[in-house]
Structure 1
């Protein structure tokens, strides 16, 4: 029987704070919180469901923080967010019907590729570049694919959104980070709605972690806005690589 002791509350709150900080800058917060929840004694499905509860608060906090600094117009993203919500919901609902495990075999290679791209590609900074795809086309293609993946599998979603905004939308690193957060919130929320029906998240645990996640997200967003690509790029490389290594370890 899972019991929420004081020691466990402190452990999970600390993990959520760190995850919120990392996620607001480069994504990958689930790399911290999901193992912490499983270490606390939750089965994998319930850990994923509970992680969605606290994750939506961190993503929402980061999105609002970036919007207040004028780095993203959340109103202009409402259509894309609605698409992300629906796709995340569908992905989570179909998690038992589609071969999600097969995707995990190729995911480490993709994540390492993303890490190498941001580490080695010259000229990646906070300066916008040539746009290769119209916003409507981006919303119709990249957003549903990544959000569906978020509901179906999850790890690396922020990195995939970042790559899309940088490579296709032509955004600089900081602007891409800011635009990722509302979409990540929406796909997380869609996944949470589905998991609430089947995964039975622990709402009290999720609420405790959400408070810490908000604090971490506010601090992380503030640091990212102050330093831009100088901190976002290295952290994105580190989190993508760490997530790839963790997935390889799980598969082996």
Structure 2
């Protein structure tokens, strides 16, 4: 069995992956909070942004952590279509969970359904990403640890959606994001602890792309998306700010309409 190294670059990839998970969680929570206070097209757009943020953050967390992953006795490559599919699955299934909460009439039922859907989506992303691995050998999993990792994903997703429904202050959202980031990272490393690789030495070239050829540039691009979207959300006025601005303008408009017309100059 090949020796698995989860930190080929030391703590760097672990810390960066945790940071990406926290940023995605914070952005997703803020967008969901905004969505719950909005209506119509605005609510839909905020929920779409939340889904893309959470899905992108978790995907980036997974593959940044995978940059430090290595197996003695074999190189590692990634199947590009499967890797991209794992990202699309993450965003799509997380979106289903977020929309269930955003539009559900029964909040309790919506929370359970949304948490289950989102958690299974996160787990699916993880194991699809692992299925994209190409190496000289066979990858096997400990069923118990796989089940634990899926359970962590479902619980973490449910707690995240509960936070979106019940937490609105920026400080509380920040704390919840740190907890969610830790839960997502725990799910990842629990899933990785379930991995056992039986190496079969071979001189044949592996198909697929290396992590630095494909995963790293994509992770950098998605990380940039998260930062830019965070700036957009931070600068966008909330519903309360818009209402306050509108109410402040009404007296001015009322004064102008009630003022007597200026006398005509002969």
TM over 0.5, yes or no? no
Name the TM-score, length of structure 1 as normaliser.
0.32
Return the structure number with greater strand share. 2
Q: Which has the higher contact order (CA 8 A, sep 6+)?
A: 1
Return the structure number with greater helix share. 1
